[in-house]
Amino acid sequence: GQQVMQIPQYQHVQEGEDFTTYCNSSTTLSNIQWYKQRPGGHPVFLIQLVKSGEVKKQKRLTFQFGEAKKNSSLHITATQTTDVGTYFCAGSLKGGNKLVFGAGTILRVKS
């Protein structure tokens, strides 16, 4: 079945350092979405990427979708303590309505 792999599992950075999490799918995706879950909270939608090679930015966050639409990344520039949480990628197949979530990357930021 469809699988979405995400690395690293965990990252602990110093405040001000950059952070990147990577997502890979075993199959070509229709789109990919990114979510953030704060400790004790629920996943909250960040962004959706649809086009091959697409790059989107939200302030310090940069999202990329690979040319083959099988991989994606989220990069945070100059992390802040408010960035703490788990970042999930989630992909869906063409014509599909269900998202398959990666295992998530837990980000901790030391101030």
Q: Is 111 exposed, middle or buried (0-12, 13-18, 19+ CB in 10 A)?
A: exposed
**Scanning residues 49 to 78, which ones bind another protein (CB under 8 A)?**
none
Cβ at position 40, least distance to another protein in Å: 9
N-terminal to C-terminal alpha carbon distance within the chain:
41
Binder among 7, 13, 93, 103 for another protein (CB under 8 A): 103
Binder among 20, 77, 101, 108 for another protein (CB under 8 A): 101
Is 13 near another protein (CB under 8 A)?
no
Tokens of 103: 């295992």
